[in-house]
Amino acid sequence: YRQAQLAGELAVFLGNRKPMKSGPRDIWSATAKNCHQALMKHARLTSNEKAAYKNDPDGWMQQLVQSQGRGVLTCHHPGNGKQQPLAVKCNMVLLVAMAMAAERQQEA
């Protein structure tokens, strides 16, 4: 449950950002470091979560996104090589579609 909350916070953070100038218009992206800072600010990470992130920042973020991203959140290295820092992207079209489906289920 806790990890699902963190993934939700990430989706909100990315959804409130301006879309990238290049690439598909429905993809919002930020570096893993910026995503972690947003979680520190909005989700109040526990001391265990902070320690786990400090030990392996990219691994921690990838594990969170892979376990809870549901295809909406994915990790990537922008550009062609791994020189770029790890980033997290959010597929807004899929996120909105999932939210609408959930709303419809609540109405039924």
Q: Which amino acid is at 56?
A: D
**pLDDT at site 19:** 60
**pLDDT at site 102:** 87
**pLDDT at site 24:** 54
Q: In what order do the strands lie in the sheet with 73-76?
A: 27-31, 87-91, 73-76
Query: Is 101's pLDDT higher than 80?
Result: yes
Tell me: the pLDDT tens digits for 19-60? Answer: 655 555 556 888 999 999 999 998 889 999 999 999 999 999
Structure tokens at 58: 């990219």
- Residue 36 DSSP code: H
Tell me: the pLDDT tens digits for 62-83? Answer: 999 999 998 899 998 877 666 7
**pLDDT at site 52:** 94
**pLDDT at site 93:** 84
Name which residue leads in pLDDT, 89 or 24: 89
Query: Is 15's pLDDT higher than 90?
Result: no
Query: Is 104's pLDDT higher than 60?
Result: yes
